[in-house]
Amino acid sequence: MAKDYTELAQDIVAHVGGKDNIIKLVHCVTRLRFTLKDESKADDDYLKQRDGIVTVVKAGGQYQVVIGNHVPDVYDTVLKVAGIQGEGGIDVNEGDVPQGNLFDQFIALVSGLFQPMLGALSAAGMIKGLVAILAAVGVKETSGLYVILNAAGDGFFQFLPVILALTAAKRFKMEQFTALALSFALVYPDIAASFANGKVDFLGLPVIFPSSSYLQTVLPIILTVWVGSKIERFFKKIIPDVVKVFIVPFFVILITVPLAYLAIGPVMNWASNLIGVIFTNIYNFSPIVFGILLGALWQVLVMFGLHWGLVPIAILDFSTKGWSTLLVASTAICFAQAGALLNIFLRTKEDKVKQLTIPAFISALFGVTEPAIYGITLPMRTPFIMTCVAGAIQGAFLSFFNTTSYTMGGMGLFAIPSYITPKHVPAGASSDLNNVWYFLISIVMSFVLGFVLTQLTKIPYLYGGPDVKPVTDDTTAQPVAELKELKQEIIASPMIGQVVKLENVPDEVFATGAMGKGIAIDPADGTVVAPAAGEITLVFPTGHAIGMRTENGAEILIHVGMDTVSLAGKGFNTFVQVGDKVDAGQKLLEFDLATIRDANLPVISPVIVTNSTEFEDVLTTQDARVNIGDYLLTTLA
C-alpha cells in the first residue's frame, strides 16, 4: 500500500511558516523547493530533525526541504494539506519565457498556459460536439436547447483570451485582475462595431482592427499580458507603496490597452493578411503544392491566429461563386489528431494522459482540436509533428482531385454534407459526383496516418512518469520483479571523467551523504550509460536525473550537475522510460556540457546508492579518473 504522508505534510506546512507564508512550491528529484515570504518564520531545527525529512537547505532564494525519492507523493500531499496550487514538478528558472530554442520556448509557454484549463477545455469541446449532433438531427438553432448548450460549449472558446489572461498573468508574474482588465478590453462587446467603418484613430494614430475581432484568439492576449507585466514591473518600482494598489493598475491598463490595439493586434493582423496573400499566390501557382503546405501548416497557423488571412477569402468564394476549394485541405486534419490521440491512449503509461485523451478524442472527431493540440500532442512535440505530416498528405490528395466544398458548414464529421455535390452545380465548380467520396477517403486517410505515424514515435511522459505507487517502502522506485534479496554488486562508471569525492560535491545534501553513499564524476563528455543491468525507476521530466534498481537490489541515482533542474530540459536528451529493462553500458541520456557551464552551474555529477542503509557498506574507486565501464562502486551485502 502507498504510505500516507498527511501528517508529514501538515508538519512541513506548519513549520515553513504556514500556508500564508508560501509564495510558490515546486519539487525536483529529491526536494520540495519552497519560495517563502519570510524564511525567518521557518523552523529549520525542527524540520531537520523531523522523521521523514533528510535535511533543509537554503539556496538560490529557495527553502529546500529534502525528502528523498518519494518527494512526488509528499509534494502532492503538501498541496492538498495547504490548499494551494503548485507550480508543477519541474523547478524552472521563471523568467518571462521558458528556456531553449524558439520552438521549445513556444511549446513550453503555450502548453504551460493551457494546462490548468485542460479539463474545462475538453468538456467545452465535447459540448460543442453534442451541439453539432443536435443540429444534424434537426434541432433548430433558435430553440432554447440549442441556444443554451451552444453557449455552454462555445462560450469557453469565444472568451478564451480572458482565461488565457489568468494563466499568462501567473506565468509572467502579473496581478491577475489587471491582466483580466486587459483581456476584457480586447473582447469588449461593442468594440468591433466601433471599428466597422475603418476610420477610428487613437490620438491621430490609425487603429487597424481585425475583422474577426480578438475573440477566440490566443497569441494577442499572451503578448499583451507579457507587455503589461513589463510595464507593471516598472511602475511597481517607482510608485510609492501607499498608492501602489490602484495607481500601478491604472498606468498598466492606460498604457497597455492602446499598445495592444495600435501595435500588438495590428502586427498579428498584418501577418494574417500576409499569409492570405502568400497562400493565394501558391494556390494560383499549383493547387497541389498549396494543399500540401496548407495541410501541413494549418494547425500552426491556427495556433498563431494567422489562419484568419485565408478565412475571409474562402467566405468571399462562397458568397460570390457558391463553392470553394481554398480551405478543403484543412478540414480533415482534425482526424489526424484523433488518430494520434488513439495511439497515445493505447501506449501511454500515465493515467492522467489517458483521462485527458478520451474527451480530446471525442472533441477532435467534431473538429474541436484545441484540447488535443494544447493538452497532449503539442507538449509531446513529435506526435504533433506527425499530425502535420498527415495533414500534408491528405491535403495533397484532396487538391489532386480538386475536391470542392459547396457550403461553409460544420466541422469534423459534420463537414461531410458540405462536400455533397448539389443537384444544380454552381458555375465553375467541379461536377465530379465522387466529390464527397474523396472527402470521406481523406477522413480515413488522416485518421490512419495520424495513428500510424504516431506509432513510429516515442510517447514521452507529460507528468513525470507512470502513475504508480510504491509497494514495499518509501521510495518511488519500482522493484525488479525477479529480485529476491540484496546481493553484493560491482557498479561500473556511467560516465567518463575525473573522480570527485562525495564530500567535495558543491551541494550540502549530496556532500553530507544525506541521499546515500556514493561518489561523483566531473564529466569529460555528455554521455551517461547504465552502470549495471536492471530496471529504470525514475526519469525526471527535465532529463537531468535518472534512477534505476539493479538486478541485485542497489538503487542508483545518477544526477547530472548541480541545480540543472533549472535548465528545464535544455541540453538534455533521454533514451529510456520508467519501467524499461536495461543492460550494463546501455545509453541512458545525453547532455550538453556547454549548456550547463554557460548557465554557471557545476557539472559535477553524483552517482548515489540511495538505499545505502540496506547494505553493510558501499566502497568507492580510488582512481582519479574513470572511463565508461570502469570500476566505480561496490555494494557489500
Strands 517-523 and 605-609: antiparallel
Reported confidence tier of residue 479, pLDDT bands at 50, 70, 90: very low
**Whole-number Å distance between alpha carbons of 75 and 29:** 11
| Angstrom distances, CA of residue 197 to CA of 203, 207, 212, 231 | 17, 11, 14, 32
Contacts of 249 (CB under 8 A, 6+ apart): 175, 177, 178, 181, 232
**Whole-number Å distance between alpha carbons of 530 and 520:** 15
pLDDT for 22-43, tens place per residue? 888 877 767 888 888 888 888 8
List of E strands, 162-276: 201-202, 205-206
| Angstrom distances, CA of residue 198 to CA of 121, 180, 184, 349 | 34, 27, 21, 53
Look at residue 322 and tell me whether its pLDDT is greater than 60: yes
Map grid coordinates 497515445 to a residue: 344
**Whole-number Å distance between alpha carbons of 365 and 128:** 11
85-99: average pLDDT: 43
Contacts of 347 (CB under 8 A, 6+ apart): 459
Backbone angles phi, psi at 521, to 5 degrees: -130, 135
Can you say how many angstroms the Cα of residue 587 is from the centroid of all Cα atoms in its chain?
A: 26
Q: What per-residue confidence (pLDDT) applies to 299?
A: 87
402-420: average pLDDT: 80
Map grid coordinates 529510456 to a residue: 576
Q: How many CA atoms lie within 13 A of 173 on its CB side?
A: 12
| Angstrom distances, CA of residue 527 to CA of 430, 491, 628, 629 | 58, 17, 9, 12
pLDDT for 336-390, tens place per residue? 999 999 999 999 887 778 888 988 898 889 888 888 888 889 888 889 999 999 9
Contacts of 552 (CB under 8 A, 6+ apart): 483, 486, 487, 488, 489, 532, 635, 637
Catalytic residue among 16, 28, 113, 626: 28
Strands 617-620 and 625-626: unpaired
Q: What per-residue confidence (pLDDT) applies to 598?
A: 86
pLDDT for 333-342, tens place per residue? 999 999 999 9
Domains, the chain, in order of start with CATH, read 6-89 (3.30.1360.60), 286-463 (no CATH), 489-636 (2.70.70.10)
Reported confidence tier of residue 482, pLDDT bands at 50, 70, 90: very low
Burial pattern 575-587, b for ≥16 Cβ within 10 A else e, equals bbebebbbebeeb
Q: What per-residue confidence (pLDDT) applies to 135?
A: 78
One-letter amino acid for residue 183 of the chain: S
Q: What per-residue confidence (pLDDT) applies to 469?
A: 39
Q: Is 334 a catalytic site residue?
A: no
